[in-house]
């Protein structure tokens, strides 16, 4: 596979030897709720006992929550990350470089023709409950993932059929030659066909290296799958993910070394994490805040008005002040380190006068809107500055903050959405990283365009889908040329568009883990990782 995202990792490690070194460094840890006085990161309880995460156990402080674990449809960050350890696709992705590898499959697809493949299931593959994985399970998993209106459907629309040739062989037919079949099949997480959707939503069973022992709002606990016979057999006896959305509390868990890994390290906290001997890796990925518009609501139905928002906002100020420099400005739907990057025809720079001019051209003298935001800490850190910048060009924004699920269910996914503009985080690269997949998530024929942006059916929507279809049926320079047309159109229409491309910072104790790699998307990966 052509690497979709050039490796954009920068490592920042700062190891100190103890109390004296911390004092000389001039870094105190009291501001994050306490910490270690040892450069090793070890901590003790009141009785002097070691409370550090220890060998034989993997532990992480994760930053996002979730309640829908349905492997065939969830889009929530925590369930997606957990399910990758418990369930398998025929092929899975190494999220550190997006390379595809055989998981449940026994090798590469065998091409019967340009549009038909046969895939054999790994010999001896069993679920954690001891039952065999059979081809019928793959067929059912595909059916669950492609129900009408399903979020995964646009990303799997190239598939015409999935059938069981026999118990161990799956036959897959595509609507046209498709070069990324292994990468896309990683979306289809195979589970027992006998399980109901209600059962899978709360406690999935899979054939992966780990088993869910318990799923609660605050913690995920895993144990090794005793029946797993794939290449990533766990060496540890347990794995625990503490769900800690609060940045300060998550930092405390890391500095006190009750975990080995911390997801989503805020930029201003990085020195505190480094001061206890941990490494912080910054990965430029596809994590981003977007502005999403109700394109059926005047005057937001005019792309000039939508563009005015992007010219009005001082993104460099957001990056430097709210994100401590850990992000990049947008020159395309894709970040610049992506292998398929193309500078779009419209690149937004801070230009209040341009914003005012566009509003004037659209006949808008003044505008009052509600800016709905999620409660993610790094999103709420952006909204005050955005509100101020919009006011400077005559757009008065009232900020309404909600938890993510409530924002969409209450204001966007209703029969007649009445929201104005949404500021929220997003990152479809948890599913893969080819341009068609990334665009299909937000601009495909799904909830995003049907109910949220309400952009489906517009002339620009149809034009975009024409270019997307031409691209997936092409290859090489012809494919790239069609993707470039997509990027140009999206930069001009901006029904939903990145405000910036954020780096993902992950903290971890390198000396306590074998094989750990930071990833540029939400979640953490312990596939093939063991404690020391």
The model's confidence at residue 55, banded by pLDDT at 50, 70 and 90, is: low
pLDDT(69) > 60: yes
Q: What is the pLDDT of residues 358-368, one digit of tens each?
A: 999 999 999 99
Greatest Cα pair distance, the chain, in angstroms, is 71
List, as one string, the DSSP characters of 376-396.
-HHHHTTHHHHHHHHHHTTEE
The percentage of residues in the chain with a pLDDT greater than 70, rounded to a whole number, is 90
Rounded-to-integer distance, Cα 153 and Cα 173, Å:
16
The model's confidence at residue 244, banded by pLDDT at 50, 70 and 90, is: very high
More confident: 385 or 377: 385
Q: Distance from first CA to last CA of the chain, Å, rounded?
A: 32
* Strand ordering across the sheet containing 367-374: 395-402, 367-374, 421-426, 288-293, 496-498
- What is the predicted pLDDT for the residue at 164? 98
Segment 50-55 shows an average pLDDT of: 48
- What is the predicted pLDDT for the residue at 11? 52
pLDDT(18) > 50: no
Name the DSSP class of 412: I
pLDDT(158) > 60: yes
Q: Estimate to the nearest angstrom the gap between the alpha carbon of 57 and the chain centroid.
A: 25
Rounded-to-integer distance, Cα 198 and Cα 119, Å:
29
- What is the predicted pLDDT for the residue at 151? 86
CA-to-CA dists, residue 303 to 233, 345, 356, 369, 466, angstroms:
52, 15, 14, 16, 20
- What is the predicted pLDDT for the residue at 493? 98
pLDDT(15) > 80: no
Q: What is the pLDDT of residues 481-527, one digit of tens each?
A: 999 999 999 999 999 999 999 999 999 999 999 999 999 999 999 99
Q: What is the pLDDT of residues 412-452, one digit of tens each?
A: 999 999 899 999 999 999 999 999 999 999 999 999 999 99
Q: Is residue 55 a contact partner of residue 530, using CB atoms and an 8 Å limit?
A: no
Instruction: List residues bridging with 91 in a β-sheet.
Output: 102
- What is the predicted pLDDT for the residue at 468? 96
Q: What is the pLDDT of residues 284-309, one digit of tens each?
A: 989 899 999 999 999 999 999 999 99
Counting Cα atoms < 13 Å in the Cβ hemisphere of 173 gives 6
Q: What is the pLDDT of residues 170-188, one digit of tens each?
A: 999 999 999 889 999 999 9
The model's confidence at residue 410, banded by pLDDT at 50, 70 and 90, is: very high
Is the C-alpha dihedral spanning 79, 85, 91, 93 positive or negative?
A: positive
Neighbouring residues of 318: CB distance < 8 A, sequence distance ≥ 6: 327, 382, 385, 386, 499, 500
The percentage of residues in the chain with a pLDDT greater than 90, rounded to a whole number, is 83
CA-to-CA dists, residue 444 to 408, 450, 458, 492, angstroms:
17, 9, 13, 18
pLDDT(323) > 60: yes
- What is the predicted pLDDT for the residue at 308? 98
- What is the predicted pLDDT for the residue at 53? 52
The model's confidence at residue 9, banded by pLDDT at 50, 70 and 90, is: low
| Model confidence, pTM | 0.82
Q: What is the pLDDT of residues 107-149, one digit of tens each?
A: 999 999 999 999 999 999 999 999 999 999 999 999 999 999 8
Q: What is the pLDDT of residues 79-92, one digit of tens each?
A: 999 999 999 999 99
- What is the predicted pLDDT for the residue at 38? 32
Q: What is the mean pLDDT of the chain?
A: 90
pLDDT(28) > 90: no
The model's confidence at residue 2, banded by pLDDT at 50, 70 and 90, is: very low
Rounded-to-integer distance, Cα 276 and Cα 18, Å:
8
Both tokens assigned to 117: 């493949």
Name the DSSP class of 256: T
Rounded-to-integer distance, Cα 317 and Cα 477, Å:
36
How does strand 261-262 pair with strand 57-62? parallel
- What is the predicted pLDDT for the residue at 49? 37
- Report the number of secondary-structure helices (H) and strands (E) in the chain: 17, 22
Helix (H) or strand (E) holding 84: helix 77-86
């Amino acid at each position: 596979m052509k690497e979709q995202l050039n490796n954009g990792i920068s490592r920042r490690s700062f190891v100190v030897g103890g109390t004296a070194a911390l004092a000389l460094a001039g870094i105190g840890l009291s501001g994050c709720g306490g910490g270690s006085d040892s450069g090793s990161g070890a901590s003790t309880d009141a009785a002097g006992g070691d409370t550090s995460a220890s060998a034989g156990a993997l532990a992480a402080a994760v930053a996002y929550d979730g309640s829908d674990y349905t492997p065939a449809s969830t889009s929530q960050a925590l369930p997606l990350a957990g399910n990758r350890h418990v369930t398998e696709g025929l092929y899975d992705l190494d999220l550190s470089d997006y390379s595809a590898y055989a998981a449940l499959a026994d090798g590469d697809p065998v091409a019967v023709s340009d549009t038909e493949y046969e895939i054999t299931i790994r010999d001896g593959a069993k679920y954690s409950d001891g039952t065999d994985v059979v081809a019928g399970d793959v067929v059912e998993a595909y059916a669950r993932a492609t129900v009408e209106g399903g979020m995964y459907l646009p990303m799997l629309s190239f598939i015409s059929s999935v059938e069981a040739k026999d118990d161990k062989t799956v036959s897959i037919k595509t609507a046209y030659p498709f070069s990324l079949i292994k990468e896309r099949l990683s979306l289809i997480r195979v589970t027992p066909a006998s399980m109901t959707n209600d059962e899978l939503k709360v406690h999935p069973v899979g054939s992966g290296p780990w088993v869910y022992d318990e799923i609660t709002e605050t913690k995920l606990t895993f144990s090794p799958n005793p029946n797993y016979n794939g290449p990533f057999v766990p060496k540890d006896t347990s794995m625990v993910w503490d769900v800690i959305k609060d940045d300060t509390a998550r930092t405390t868990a890391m500095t006190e070394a009750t975990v080995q890994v911390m997801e989503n390290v805020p930029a201003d906290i990085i020195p505190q994490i480094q001061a206890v001997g941990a490494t912080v890796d910054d990965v430029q990925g596809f994590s981003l805040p977007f502005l999403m518009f109700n394109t059926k609501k005047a005057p937001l139905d005019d792309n000039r008005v939508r563009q005015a928002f992007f010219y009005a906002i001082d993104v460099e100020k957001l990056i430097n002040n709210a994100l401590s420099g850990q992000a990049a400005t947008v020159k395309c739907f894709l970040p610049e380190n992506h292998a398929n990057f193309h500078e779009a025809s419209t690149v937004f720079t801070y230009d209040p006068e341009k914003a005012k001019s566009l509003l004037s051209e659209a006949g808008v003298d003044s505008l009052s809107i509600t800016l709905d935001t999620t409660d993610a800490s790094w999103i709420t850190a952006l909204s005050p500055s955005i509100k101020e910048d919009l006011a400077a060009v005559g757009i008065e924004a009232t900020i309404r903050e909600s938890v993510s699920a409530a924002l969409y269910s209450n204001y966007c996914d209703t029969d007649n959405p009445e929201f104005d503009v949404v500021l929220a985080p997003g990152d479809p690269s948890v599913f893969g990283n080819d341009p068609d997949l990334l665009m299909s998530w937000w601009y495909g024929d799904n909830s995003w365009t049907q109910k949220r942006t309400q952009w489906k059916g517009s002339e620009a929507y149809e034009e975009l889908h024409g270019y997307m279809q031409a691209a997936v049926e092409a290859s090489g320079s012809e494919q790239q040329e069609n993707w470039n047309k997509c990027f140009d159109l999206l930069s001009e229409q901006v029904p939903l568009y990145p405000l910036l491309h954020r780096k993902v910072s992950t903290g971890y104790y390198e000396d306590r883990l074998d094989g750990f790699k930071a990833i540029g998307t939400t979640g953490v990966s312990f596939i093939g990782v063991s404690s020391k």
